[in-house]
């Protein structure tokens, strides 16, 4: 019973924790450059995970191919996605606009899950995905009013687009190749790979200077414990348990929840249009995840064999 309740609550907890990432970045980035911040974050996470792995005697992956897959997934989900988000904000792109770009992930995921994972996206899901996108745009349009779009260039937007492609590709890659990993050692391998990318970038292109202020320390601690350990573990578990399109649809809820957090922490007003957009987003996600309307091609074929005794046509 408890396990079922936790499984039911897991998506909501994930969305809430993941939404705090933009808040943590807003607090921490004024005191460190993006990849310097990420490298330090990864070092602390690796140290903590190493203690957990040794204390629990977790099993290390022995298959070189699985280790390589974990490394690729870690670079996409941690190094490139987070580097893209942090880099975009650092280059002056409004956090709301970065969230809007990342909010395209569910549609991008749905467009490619068929060829890559053999999942079929039904009409109801496409409707939900589209409604979710409209809701995200409604929420963020109220936050972008008056923003000077000439305050940043293509370099900043390229970071945001890289983040979108990385989180989309990373979740799909994780679902395709890494679902059999031990969550403790597998995540550790992923962060080691992410550090191997982010640290050289920081050394080559940044000063690596850090202003050790209380806001920076608090932001670092939050991003390490709540995001890098908590939210990422939930994401990997959700990917293991559900279809890629369903998991991706939860990201539609991140910008609205971020807007609520910004209202609570920074006093940013929520207009009626923003509230309507949140409602549209919630309905869109419900259409995607309410019923198992997405079936893999393998499952459909198996169902056909069970009914007729012969392979399903097609």
What is the tens place of the pLDDT at every residue in 243-280? 666 776 777 777 777 777 777 776 656 677 767 776 77
Q: Is 0.95 topped by the overall pTM?
A: no
Tens-of-pLDDT digits for all 314 residues of the chain? 566 667 777 888 888 888 888 788 878 999 999 999 999 999 999 999 999 999 999 999 888 999 999 999 999 999 999 999 899 878 877 666 677 677 677 777 776 766 666 667 677 777 877 887 787 777 666 555 444 444 555 677 789 889 989 988 988 888 888 877 788 899 999 999 999 999 999 999 999 999 999 999 999 999 999 988 888 888 878 877 776 667 767 777 777 777 777 777 766 566 777 677 767 776 776 676 654 443 433 433 344 444 444 433 33
- Taking alpha carbons only, the member of 204, 236, 220, 228 closest to residue 70 is 236
Q: Are 110 and 125 a contacting pair, CB within 8 Å?
A: yes
Identify the pLDDT of residue 155. Answer: 74
Q: Are 178 and 186 a contacting pair, CB within 8 Å?
A: yes
Q: At what angle do helices 183-205 and 34-56 cross, to 10 degrees?
A: 150
Quick count: other Cβ atoms within 10 Å of Cβ 52? 14
- Taking alpha carbons only, the member of 58, 26, 24 closest to residue 41 is 24
The one-character DSSP state at 291 is S
Q: Are 245 and 106 a contacting pair, CB within 8 Å?
A: yes
Identify the pLDDT of residue 100. Answer: 67
Residue 225 — φ and ψ, nearest 5°? Answer: -75, -45
**Cα–Cα distance, 308 to 71 (Å, whole number):** 43
Identify the pLDDT of residue 78. Answer: 93
What residues pair up with 32 in beta bridges, in sequence order?
Answer: 210
Q: Give tens-digit pLDDT for 181-212.
A: 788 899 999 999 999 999 999 999 999 999 99
């Amino acid at each position: 019973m408890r396990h079922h309740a936790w499984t039911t609550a897991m998506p909501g907890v994930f969305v809430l924790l993941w939404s705090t990432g933009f808040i943590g970045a807003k607090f921490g980035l004024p005191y460190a450059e993006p990849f310097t911040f990420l490298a330090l974050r990864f070092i602390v996470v690796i140290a903590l995970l190493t203690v957990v792995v040794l204390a629990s005697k977790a099993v290390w992956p022995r298959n070189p191919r699985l280790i390589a897959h974990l490394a690729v997934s870690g670079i996409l989900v941690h190094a490139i996605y987070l580097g893209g988000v942090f880099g975009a904000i650092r280059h002056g792109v409004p956090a709301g606009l970065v969230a809007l770009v990342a909010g395209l992930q569910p549609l991008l995921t749905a467009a490619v899950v068929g060829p890559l994972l053999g999942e079929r996206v039904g009409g109801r899901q496409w409707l939900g995905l589209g409604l979710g996108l409209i809701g995200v745009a409604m929420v963020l349009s109220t936050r972008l009013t008056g923003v000077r779009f000439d305050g940043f260039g293509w370099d900043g937007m390229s970071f945001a687009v890289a983040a979108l492609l990385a989180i989309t590709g990373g979740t799909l890659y994780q679902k395709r190749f890494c679902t059999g990993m031990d969550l403790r050692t597998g995540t550790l391998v992923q962060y080691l790979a992410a550090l191997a990318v982010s640290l050289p970038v920081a050394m080559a292109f940044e000063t690596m200077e850090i202003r050790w202020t209380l806001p920076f320390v608090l932001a670092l601690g939050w991003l390490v414990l709540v995001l890098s350990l908590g939210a990422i573990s939930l994401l990997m578990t959700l990917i293991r348990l559900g279809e890629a399109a369903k998991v991706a649809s939860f990201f539609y809820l991140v910008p609205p929840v971020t807007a609520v957090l910004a209202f609570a922490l920074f006093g940013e007003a929520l207009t009626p249009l923003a509230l309507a957009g949140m409602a549209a987003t919630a309905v869109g996600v419900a259409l995607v995840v309410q019923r198992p309307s997405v079936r893999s091609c393998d499952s459909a074929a198996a169902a056909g064999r069970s009914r007729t005794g012969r392979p399903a046509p097609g």
